Amino acid sequence: MMPVISVGSLKTSGSSTLALSLAGVAAAADIPVVLIDGARDKDIAEWATKPGRPDCLMVEVADDEMTVERLVRAARRRGDLCIVDAGDNAELLRAGARLADRALIPVRFSPLSAYAALATDRLIAAESMKGRRGRDWAFVASAVTTIPSRVARTIETMIERTATPRLEIGLVQRAAYEAPFLNGGTLFTIDDTIAPGLDRARAEAAMLAYEVGILGEAVEATRTRQPARAVAA
C-alpha cells in the first residue's frame, strides 16, 4: 500500500518544494499520486494550472481538516500515494500528521526556521497517541547550504538535541527545485537547459523518496525514536 506523507512546519520552510519534488519522483515512476495543497499561498495549485503536469499526478486543494481527511481516505481506498502540503497551518499540520504514515518537518538553515521546526515537533508529539498506529515523523533539510557556516552548525545542533530523527537525505539549495513552479512540469519532465543542477536535484529527490518509503522500503531511521517529550527551543 502506498503511504500518506504529510509535509509542513509552523513557518514556511520549503514545504511546497519538498512536496512537489517527492510527487515528481512518484510520477516519474508511474505511481498514481494525489498532492493535496493546504498551504496558505497555494503554489502547488497554481503550478497545476501550468503545462506539463503528469497524468498520474492529481492536485487537490484543502483549507480545512475535514477536506484533508476526505481526500486522504479517498486516496487510500484507491491505493494512491498521497502527499499533504500542510504549509504553516497548525490545524492542517495536526490533521496531516494524524492521517499520515510519516510527517516530514522541513528545516531551512535559519534560526527562525529551526525554532518553528522544533515547535512543530512539539505540536505533533503532543498528539502522538492519536491517528494512525505506528505513524512517525522526522525533520528533513529543505535547503541545505553547500558552504558550511556557524549558523548551519548551530541549527544542526538544535535539531540533534531532540528525540525526533533527522533524515540523512535533504534537498540542497538549488535553482532546479524552483524551476517546476516557474515553468510547469516536474524535475523529471522539464528540459535540462531550463535550470542548472537538474541531474543532482533528480538524484537527491529520488533518494529522499526512497528514504520516506515512496520507492521501495523506507530505510531505517538514523536514530531510534524515544518517547515523545517536550523539546526546549
What single-letter amino acid sits at 132? R
Buried b (16+ CB within 10 A) or exposed e, 141-155: bbbbeeeeeeeeeeb
Q: For residue 223, is pLDDT > 80?
A: no
Q: What is the C-alpha separation between 159 and 162, in angstroms, rounded?
A: 6
The Cα 5–Cα 81 span in angstroms is: 8
Which pLDDT belongs to residue 221?
38
- Interatomic CA distance for residues 208 and 117, integer angstroms: 19
Cα separation, 40 vs 29, whole angstroms: 29
Average pLDDT of the segment spanning 172-195: 92
> Is the model's pLDDT at 230 over the cut of 60?
no
Please state the pTM of the whole predicted model.
0.87
pLDDT above 60 (res 18): yes
Q: Could you tell me the maximum CA-CA distance found in the chain, to the nearest angstrom?
A: 48
Report H helices in the chain.
15-28, 43-47, 65-78, 90-99, 111-125, 150-160, 179-183, 198-211
Structure confidence by residue, pLDDT tens digits, 106-150: 998 778 888 899 999 999 999 888 878 889 999 998 876 655 566
Residue 1 pLDDT exceeds 80: no
* pLDDT recorded at residue 226: 35
Q: How far apart are CA 151 and CA 155, in angstroms?
A: 6
pLDDT in tens, 76-115: 999 999 999 999 999 999 999 999 999 999 998 778 888 8
- Work out the average pLDDT over 11-27: 94
Pairwise CA distance, residues 123 & 26, whole Å:
29
pLDDT for residue 152 is more than 80? no
Has residue 212 got a pLDDT over 70? yes
CA nearest to 144, candidates 8, 18, 16, 38: 18
Q: Which of 25-29, 128-132, 134-138, 156-160 is modeled with the greatest confidence?
A: 25-29
pLDDT-derived band at 166, boundaries 50, 70, 90: confident
